[in-house]
Structure 1
Amino acid sequence: MDTDTPSRVPGDRLRPTSRREQAEATRALLLRTAERLFAEFGLAQVSNRQIVEAAGQANNSALTYHVGTRADLLDAIARAHAEPIARRTREMVEAARGSTRPRDHVASLVLPYTEHLAALGNPSWFARFTAQTSTDPAYSAGPRSELMLGPHHQEGLAAVWEHAPDLPPREAALRGRTMRLAVIHTCAEQERAAADSGTPADWALVGGALTDAVTGLLLAPRHPR
């Protein structure tokens, strides 16, 4: 029997039967399960054993075997989402090049994220996962996520800061972190409300409101201390 040939199951769907396909399916299941548990309970409250059990795996070492270390697991979840966000960011950053409107540059960084959340459907867990990793003392996803998003994300950030008032470095860093957390935690709150109610979030509304708010925060004048 050729074990590399998918077998038919009811509904004419294909079931992976090769070892490679089975391993990929198991890995994907573990990542989805971990993302959901981390989003709902936090990183520190979820053990590898809980992830394995929730994914219906009998082998307690399945997570280590299919994914790797704890850091590997978090990076793998973030990377799976970063790739489509990066593609959309590239499109919007390129479209905004040369614009003299600060909002255009802010939109090129905010909207790819909210559009991706809209594409995930309801319920989803990535916004809450991002909120958990952004504040967990044992893991900071921010710098890693920005690197995963690639050079166009950095280009968009540079274009945004060109429109900001002249700020001392510490104040600029604080304002930047405030803008980032506003996006992350607003989206996490909207995602949680959507999951609880069963009504999908209006991500177009959220994206537009966040773009306006972040632009206002960016352009706010600095009052002398």
Structure 2
Amino acid sequence: MDATTPQRPRAARRPAATRREQADATRVLLLRTAERLYAEHGLAEVSNRQIVEAAGQGNNSALAYYFGSRADLIRAIARFHGEPIARRIQELAREARDSDDPRDHIASLALPYTEHLAELGHPTWYARFTAQVCADPTLGPEELAAPLQAPLFRKAIVAVRSQAPGLSPKVAALRSQSMRLVVIHTCAEQERAAAYTGRPADWTMVGEALVDMITGMLLASPQS
């Protein structure tokens, strides 16, 4: 081949960053698709194949490649949302640390959840997904907790209980458990109504109402 013979250009090698970005985008697409299907149909009614097909992926092993097991996928969805919620809890808990108003401590636990739902836009599926996980006998609330959340939750509950010294430990624990259920299932119902009507939920109103309700529930005087 002489110098005048045109050279065939070499195939451009795809940058590693682009491949990583595409892999990250595929992972998020699968995660969000699974979240939506789980929220709309229930955990037990959705197969890995359905998730892959709904996400427009041709490889049926994509979920196993990106996430591992079904339980790992559910934990990944929980972490995707739980970590920003935990960071917001940490911020509000820091602000409420020296407050003697129990409402401030309750707000530091309830409002990050509704604020996160508001930030997701419309429609959302996370509240219904959370309710599904909590109701699943093989999973439970521990699957939803980010590492930061548990110690912050305990500190806030201790601060609230200090305002209601007449409660027995068992009653206080039951009310604290009920607080979590009120938040989760109230938000799931609001999200379900928004999906049905097409009108976004007013998460600011929901958050403030939850704080009011939980404050009253946790501090109500026990009957003698």
Fold agreement, TM-score > 0.5: yes
User: For the residues of structure 2 that align with 1:159 and 1:218, how far apart are their CA atoms?
Assistant: 11
Partner of 1:11: none
Does the aligned pair in 1 maintain the 2:37–2:46 contact within 8 Å? yes
Cα 1:146/1:165, change in 2 over 3 Å: farther
Give me the whole-angstrom Cα distance separating, in 1, the residues matched to 2:88 and 2:193.
25
Task: Determine the C-alpha separation between the residues in 2 that align with 1:119 and 1:128.
Answer: 16
Question: Alpha-carbon deviation of 1:86?
Answer: 1.3
User: Which consecutive unaligned segments of at least 5 residues does structure 2 have?
Assistant: 1-11
Partner of 2:26: 26
Measured in 1, the distance between the counterparts of 2:86 and 2:115 equals 12
Distance 1:203 1:116 in 2: 9
Instruction: Tell me the TM-score normalised to structure 1 length.
Output: 0.88
Note the C-alpha offset of 1:148: 4.8
Q: Does the 8 Å CA contact 2:191/2:201 hold for their aligned counterparts? A: yes
Partner of 2:82: 82
Aligned alpha-carbon RMSD (Å)? 1.8
Q: After the TM superposition, which residues 1-225 of structure 1 pair with which residues of structure 2 at under 5 Å, given as runs?
A: 1-4=12-15, 17-18=18-19, 20-142=20-142, 144-145=144-145, 147-149=147-149, 151-224=151-224
How far, CA to CA, are the matches of 2:43 and 2:115 in structure 1? 25
Unpaired stretches in structure 1, ≥5 consecutive residues = 7-16
Give the structure-2-normalised TM-score.
0.88
Whichever of the two has the greater Rg, that structure is: 2
8 A Cα contact 1:165 1:221, kept in partner: no
Structure 2 CA distance, aligned partners of 1:142 and 1:181? 13
Deviation of 1:87 after TM superposition, in Å, equals 1.5
% same residue: 61
Give, in whole Å, the separation in 2 of the partners of 1:36 and 1:65.
20
